Structure 1
Amino acid sequence: MEHREKEAEIISEILLKAASEPEFRNSLIRDPANVLKDYDVSPQARMVIQRTIVDLTQ
């Protein structure tokens, strides 16, 4: 699988988990760098995830 596809899959997993697990979502909002360090995604992907979480919670 191409790295970009794999990364898109990981982003989807993170966002779905954030949508269904309030505790995970709150951790992601409070300390995204710490939560995302466990995932193999690029800095750009981390920014997308952080922006999406912020947008979803406003």
Structure 2
Amino acid sequence: MEPKREAEIISEILLKAASEPEFRNSLIHNPASVLEQYNVSPQAKTIIAKSISDLTQ
């Protein structure tokens, strides 16, 4: 996947997490399951999971 497009998807996921509490809670408690739905690299999934984890501390 093109890096720019992957960055856009990461941004979309993080914005959705910021605005939708139910989605955010799912992402916090079971990131692997939620992120399976997105076509992003394992590295991107790690970035998203870490970002969400950092926000909740």
Normalising by structure 1, we get a TM-score of: 0.94
**Structure 2 stretches lacking a partner, 5+ long:** none
CA–CA distance in 1 between the matches of 2:50 and 2:32? Answer: 13
Pairwise CA distance, 1:44: 0.3
Q: CA RMSD in A?
A: 1.0
Q: How many residues align?
A: 57
Share of identical aligned residues, percent? 68
Does residue 29 (structure 1) correspond to residue 53 (structure 2)? The answer is: no
Normalising by structure 2, we get a TM-score of: 0.95
Q: Deviations over 1:7-43 (max 9, x none)?
A: 0000000000000011000000111111001101000
Instruction: List structure 1 runs of 4+ shifted beyond 3 angstroms.
Output: none
Partner of 1:45: 44
CA–CA distance in 2 between the matches of 1:23 and 1:11? Answer: 18
CA–CA distance in 2 between the matches of 1:53 and 1:33? Answer: 12
CA–CA distance in 2 between the matches of 1:5 and 1:27? Answer: 26
Amino acid aligned to 2:7: A
Pairwise CA distance, 1:57: 0.9
